[in-house]
Amino acid sequence: MKAEKDTVVSFHYRLSDSGGVALGDSGDHEPVTYLHGHGNLVPGLESGLRGRETGDTFTVTVPPEQGYGLHRDLPTQRVPIKRLLGSKRPRPGDVVAIQADDGTRQMTVVKVGKFNVDVDPNHPLAGRTLQFEVELLDVRDATAEELTHGHAHGPGGHQH
Ligand code: ZN
């Protein structure tokens, strides 16, 4: 079965930038599981997975416009340290997760004060060309409930 709209796809990945610098992977964790065709992945990765089948291994190159966007020249934002998820003692250069109205957002710390940090509002991967080495593990039909919710359920997907 091929990855296409309204299928649920599971895969492992290794992510590096265009210079080969490692940026992360699904590692020993559960694979990523997502509902295809519903905007759950960055657009370039989702289109690179389209039409692939279980057992396929391949590399998807994602330019910034199809990934986390271009790096824009934005003013830093001041955020209370208490709104950071996880790290309570951030240092400049750290990537932190911040609770925003529309979910959690990742940003890079520029400056640390006593009660606040100044963050670069760009996504940490903005402006980077990304290379995903993908191993496709499974493709199945989505359930009616998954289609209603717009995301995959179960291990590697939403658990609720
Ligand atoms: Zn759901």
CA of 43 to the centre of ligand 1 (A): 21
From CA 105, how far away is CA 52, in angstroms rounded?
30
CA of 143 to the centre of ligand 1 (A): 10
Predicted TM-score (pTM) of this structure: 0.82
Among the listed residues 87, 149, 143, 141, the one whose alpha carbon sits nearest the alpha carbon of residue 119: 87
CA of 46 to the centre of ligand 1 (A): 19
CA of 157 to the centre of ligand 1 (A): 9
pLDDT category of residue 152 using cuts at 50, 70 and 90: very high
CA of 63 to the centre of ligand 1 (A): 30
Q: What mean pLDDT is predicted for residues 68-80?
A: 93
What would the pLDDT profile of 80-130 be if each residue is shown by its tens digit?
Answer: 998 888 767 899 999 898 887 777 888 899 999 999 999 998 998 999 999
CA of 160 to the centre of ligand 1 (A): 6
CA of 31 to the centre of ligand 1 (A): 18
CA of 38 to the centre of ligand 1 (A): 13
CA of 137 to the centre of ligand 1 (A): 21
CA of 57 to the centre of ligand 1 (A): 28
CA of 112 to the centre of ligand 1 (A): 37
CA of 154 to the centre of ligand 1 (A): 9
Mean pLDDT of the chain: 92
